[in-house]
Amino acid sequence: AQSVTQPDIHITVSEGASLELRCNYSYGATPYLFWYVQSPGQGLQLLLKYFSGDTLVQGIKGFEAEFKRSQSSFNLRKPSVHWSDAAEYFCAVGDGYSSASKIIFGSGTRLSIRP
Amino acid sequence: SAVISQKPSRDICQRGTSLTIQCQVDSQVTMMFWYRQQPGQSLTLIATANQGSEATYESGFVIDKFPISRPNLTFSTLTVSNMSPEDSSIYLCSVEDSSRAWGRATGELFFGEGSRLTVL
C-alpha cells in the first residue's frame, strides 16, 4: 500500500537559515508527489509538484524539492527562510490516474522560525 | 485554479447537536471532497461528493454521521451529526484541478480555508 512518511514532527530554524523538510514515500510505480503548506487558520496551498522529467522542481515562495527514486524521497528545501514561512507542511503522493480520493497525505511537519 | 469558500469558519457546538458546513466553489466541478483534520493530525478523506448521486464514503465514515448534499456543480454541504468532543476538528472542502498534463489528471487539490469545530 502506498504511504507517506514525514519523520520530523516539528522543526525550528533561524530566520535566514536554510531549510530541508524530509518526505519518504512507499509506492509501486512512479508517483505524483506534492508539497502543500498550511498557514495558521488557513486551508492548504500547493507549493510544488512532481510528475516526471527533471527531478528538481521549483515551486512558489522560493521552495524547491528533489525527487530521488533510489531513496524514495521528495525533500523540500529553501535556501533562506523568512518568518512568514512558519506553517505546517504536508507531503502527499498520488498516482495521477485515480481521482484525488487516492492522494495520501503525510502527517505533516510544523515549521517554527526563530527570530 | 479554483476559489473555495467555506462557512462557518469556526463554531463552538454542544454535545449531541448537529452542524452543517457549506462549501461554495467559483467554478463548476464534478467532484468535491471533504476532509477531516483532527488536532495535530494530517488530513483524512471523509467522502467524495458527486453531483446527482450519493456521496462515496471512505472506510470509517458513514452517511448517518456525516450526511452530504451536492445539489449542483458549485456547492456542497457536510453535516456533522450528533456531535461529541471527538468530532472537534477542522473540516476542509476541496476540489481537484481540472487541467490535464499529458492526458492525466494533475492530482492537485484546491482547498477552502476550513471550518474549525469545537464540541463541548
Q: What is the pLDDT of residues B4-51, one digit of tens each?
A: 999 999 999 999 999 999 999 999 988 899 999 998 888 999 999 988
Cell numbers 458513514 correspond to B62
Q: Which residues contact A62 (CB under 8 A, 6 or more apart)?
A: A78, A79, A80
Q: What is the pLDDT of residues A3-21, one digit of tens each?
A: 899 999 999 999 999 999 9
Buried-exposed string B45-75: b where 16+ CB fall within 10 A, e elsewhere: bbbbbbbeeebebeeebeeebbbbebeeebe
Q: In chain B, which ranges are E strands?
A: 4-7, 10-13, 19-25, 31-37, 43-50, 56-57, 68-72, 75-80, 89-96, 100-101, 104-105, 109-111, 115-119
Q: Which parts of chain A register pLDDT below 70?
A: 96-101
Give the residue among A67, A61, A65 at the shortest CA–CA distance from A81. Answer: A61
User: With 70 as the cut, is the pLDDT of residue B105 above it?
Assistant: no
User: With 70 as the cut, is the pLDDT of residue B59 above it?
Assistant: yes
User: What are the cell numbers at A16?
Assistant: 535566514
Give the residue among B65, B63, B66, B116 at the shortest CA–CA distance from B91. Answer: B116
Does B4 touch chain A if contact means CB atoms closer than 8 Å? yes
User: With 60 as the cut, is the pLDDT of residue B102 above it?
Assistant: no
On whether the CB atoms of residues A76 and A23 are closer than 8 A, the answer is yes
On whether the CB atoms of residues B32 and B98 are closer than 8 A, the answer is no
- Cβ–Cβ gap B48/A107 under 8 Å: no
Cell numbers 498550511 correspond to A38
Q: Which of A30, A39, A99, A110 to mutate to test the interface with B (most CBs of B within 10 A)?
A: A99
If one compares B40 and B64, the residue with the highest pLDDT of the two is B64
If one compares B61 and A103, the residue with the highest pLDDT of the two is B61
- Which residue does chain A place closest to B112, by CA atoms? A43
- pLDDT value of residue A43: 85
Which of 66-85 (B) contact A at CB < 8 A? Answer: none
Nearest to B107 among A32, A43, A107 (CB): A32
Share in percent of chain A as helix, strand, coil (round to 5): 10, 50, 40
User: With 60 as the cut, is the pLDDT of residue B103 above it?
Assistant: no
- pLDDT value of residue A11: 97
